[in-house]
Amino acid sequence: QQQVKQSPQSLIVQKGGISIINCAYENTAFDYFPWYQQFPGKGPALLIAIRPDVSEKKEGRFTISFNKSAKQFSLHIMDSQPGDSATYFCAASTSGGSNYKLTFGKGTLLTVNP
């Protein structure tokens, strides 16, 4: 059972364009939703995260939109740059208990053409 579904699997955008990656979750106990960026040969690095008490969070060119009723959240990358080319993972975790383990989506390979 895949608890976090991510789409698209791959995405190609032109430099300066907007990249949009979507995720949907099933577990209503999830209350923390981070996005990670991973370059080849590297571990994932936190990009931006949101909690369900807000509907949007923006940090620089990166914005998370969150729809609690639809159980969906998305990452928007404005003014996409070739250096943004990487694999992006959405994730979710719950603060119930003491674990905070992350459940990841399958990832989106983003290619930004110059």
Partner 1 sequence: DTGVSQDPRHKITKRGQNVTFRCDPISEHNRLYWYRQTLGQGPEFLTYFQNEAQLEKSRLLSDRFSAERPKGSFSTLEIQRTEQGDSAMYLCASSLGSGQGTQYFGPGTRLLVL
Residues that bind partner 1 (CB under 8 A): 4, 6, 32, 34, 36, 41-46, 49, 89, 91, 93, 95, 98-107
Distances (CA, A) of 3 to 24, 79, 101: 8, 30, 13
- Report the alpha-carbon distance of residue 39 to residue 16 in Å, rounded: 20
In the complex, the smallest distance separating the C-beta of residue 74 from partner 1, rounded to whole angstroms, is: 16
In the complex, the smallest distance separating the C-beta of residue 14 from partner 1, rounded to whole angstroms, is: 25
In the complex, the smallest distance separating the C-beta of residue 90 from partner 1, rounded to whole angstroms, is: 8
Pairing of strands 10-14, 108-113: parallel
In the complex, the smallest distance separating the C-beta of residue 16 from partner 1, rounded to whole angstroms, is: 28
Place of tokens 């940090």: 59
- Report the alpha-carbon distance of residue 34 to residue 36 in Å, rounded: 7
> Which residue, 15 or 64, is less far from partner 1 as judged by CB?
64
> Which residue, 69 or 99, is less far from partner 1 as judged by CB?
99
> Which residue, 4 or 24, is less far from partner 1 as judged by CB?
4
- Report the alpha-carbon distance of residue 65 to residue 74 in Å, rounded: 5
